[in-house]
Amino acid sequence: MARLLYVEGSPRKSRSVSIFAAQAFLDAYRAANPSDVIDRLDIWEDLPQLDQNAFEAKYAGLAGVERTPAQQAAWDRLDQLAQRFRAADKILIGVPMWNFAIPYRLKQLIDLVSHKDLLFTFDERGLNGLLTNAKALVIYARGIGYGEDTGMPLEVWDQQKPYMDLWLRFVGVPNVQSMIVEKTLFEEDRDAVRQQAAALAQGF
């Protein structure tokens, strides 16, 4: 039995292409893996804040000094969130494109869990991600399309996929797959999206 963490990245719910694709993936995944556990993390529900206590807890840990009760409580909230990633064998993330990058709540989630001893460590070897036994699939939804023919070359305009690829490598995920759905503002073929997502679920 494996554990899959699904990070839901859009607030649009039934109108979201990234959620539609993720749900199609999950439907096919459940059919193929009925005993697996799926943990859904909706970033638009309550997330902790990176307040003063959380930052002081972080730096107390780096300095090796005892945390105050308030600092420890703040750190425990971050650790509980990071534990959902550490417990996952597989990670599915739905990422709509906002202003050529990712939604601010997804960035908040990343900032909450990306701390030493939560999702990475560092020593004389450098940075060491802790999610080395996990694999990930990231579903990207874009209202537009990139390419030289659009006047928006991918390597210049795309701040969505490169950032997510970098972060997942940083926290140690060795196997990262991608599904990209473009031009959703103009030509949305949900049958094709469903088929592609369901195909990716086979063997994931």
What would the mean pLDDT of 66-88 be, rounded to a whole number? 98
Question: What pLDDT is attached to residue 125?
Answer: 82
Q: Which residue has the higher pLDDT, 149 or 89?
A: 89
Residue 103 has pLDDT above 90, yes or no: yes
Residue 90 gets the label, from left (phi > 0), alpha (psi -120 to 50) or beta, of: beta
Q: What is the overall mean pLDDT for the chain?
A: 96
Q: What is the 3-state secondary structure (H, E, C) of the chain?
A: CCEEEEEECCCCHHHCHHHHHHHHHHHHHHHHCCCCEEEEEECCCCCCCCCHHHHHHHHHHHHCCCCCHHHHHHHHHHHHHHHHHHCCCEEEEEEECECCECCHHHHHHHHHHCCECCCEEEECCEEEECCCCCEEEEEEECCCCCEHHHCECHHHHCCCHHHHHHHHHHCCCCEEEEEEECCCCCCCCHHHHHHHHHHHHCCC
Structure tokens at 146: 């990139």
Residue 187 has pLDDT above 90, yes or no: no
Question: What pLDDT is attached to residue 116?
Answer: 96
Residue 188 has pLDDT above 90, yes or no: no
Structure tokens at 155: 């390597």
Of all residues in the chain, the percent with pLDDT exceeding 90 is 90
Q: Which residue has the higher pLDDT, 9 or 149?
A: 9
**Angstrom distance (rounded) from CA 69 to CA 29:** 42
Least confident of 19-33, 81-95, 135-149, 161-175: 135-149
Pairing of strands 175-181, 120-123: unpaired
What would the mean pLDDT of 11-18 be, rounded to a whole number? 94
Pairing of strands 120-123, 126-129: antiparallel
Residue 54 has pLDDT above 90, yes or no: yes
Class of domain 3-201: alpha beta
Question: What pLDDT is attached to residue 23?
Answer: 98
Using CA atoms of 179, 185, 189, 194 in order, give the dihedral in degrees to the nearest 10: 40
Residue 76 has pLDDT above 90, yes or no: yes
Question: What pLDDT is attached to residue 90?
Answer: 98
Pairing of strands 37-42, 3-8: parallel
What are 130-175's pLDDT values in tens digits?
Answer: 999 999 999 999 999 998 888 889 999 999 999 999 999 999 999 9
Question: What pLDDT is attached to residue 111?
Answer: 98
Residue 75 has pLDDT above 80, yes or no: yes
